[in-house]
Amino acid sequence: MSALTITLNDGNKIPWLGFGTGTALFGKDAENAVQAAIANGFVHLDGAQAYNNEESLGAGIVAAGKARSSLFVTTKLDKVPQGQTVRDTLVTSLKKLQLDYVDLFLIHSPKNHPAGTLSSVWKEVEALQKEGLAKSIGVSNFRVQDLEEILPNASVIPAVNQIEYHPYVFKADQPAIDLLKKHNILPTSYGGLGPIVRFKGGPLDSVLPSIAKRVSKAAGKPVTEGQVLQLWLKAKGIPAITTTSKEERIKEYLATETLPALTADEVKTIDETGSKVHHRAFAKFWDD
């Protein structure tokens, strides 16, 4: 059962481990995967308007039959269609999700909105929290300059910034992480398994197996390299949004919560080894 939570700057709690409906499930029917995730213990479900599967995320939630209050559901704002407001898009999302509110509503990407409009878009998002349509509000893929565009006029500081975060962007993401810390905005990670899923052949290939071996010994059961990367995020207090269409992977992710923690030295080794290269799979505009 997913139990570990982190308190946000608005007092709400976010479960550390989230089941995402992007990447592996992007544009696909996510109902069975979501139902399996909830049945196995996931309570944090991460969706988005851009994933084109909010209906099946909603159907999976309904099929799972869990009390609404026990779940934490996120969706994200895509481009706002001509003639519509941010509120219109969230009302549509809630209908698809079959929910009265989401626990977290994020601006998905600064690039989805015309230059100079982020501050006014954020004002619309703030109004949705006030109305109760979203318990917490935040942003995603926001660089330092994007945050600096909205913070001066914000009545509500974003609760989270969901970004690609793994050891191979550790160094490049540091300025954003520093700014988030300063404003008590929680970074949450997607693409956290990048070093083993997308960027094999990197310097971590020789480091992760030995750490996995040490943790396996301490846990008395096999530990995967993917779990080591999740333990790295856990050590940093950063929620991990992960995705899969396979039930055995769902079980593997959830098992991470009960594994022994990485040592400070192991975390440092991963930081330093990851910093030797730079690989970003998503939101490439961060590197422009």
Q: What integer pLDDT is reported at residue 148 of this predicted model?
A: 97
The domain spans of the chain are: 5-194+236-258
As given in the structure block, the two tokens for residue 220 are 């008395």
Q: Is the pLDDT of residue 3 over 90?
A: no
Residues assigned a catalytic role: 51
Contacts of 43 (CB under 8 A, 6+ apart): 1, 2, 15, 66, 70, 71, 72
| pLDDT over threshold 50, residue 118 | yes
Check pLDDT > 50 for residue 6: yes
pLDDT of residue 1: 43
The CA-atom distances, in angstroms, between 141 and each of 33, 118, 163, 186, 196 are 25, 13, 5, 13, 22
- Judged against a pLDDT cut of 90, whether residue 22 lies above it is answered with no
- CATH H superfamily, domain 5-194+236-258: NADP-dependent oxidoreductase domain (3.20.20.100)
- Residue 44 assigned as binding residue: no
- Give residue-wise pLDDT tens across range 167-210: 999 999 999 999 999 999 999 999 999 999 999 999 999 999 99
The whole-angstrom separation of Cα 31 and Cα 215 is 34
Quick one: pLDDT band at residue 29, thresholds 50, 70, 90?
Answer: confident
The overall average pLDDT reported for the chain is 95
pLDDT (0 to 100) of residue 288:
87
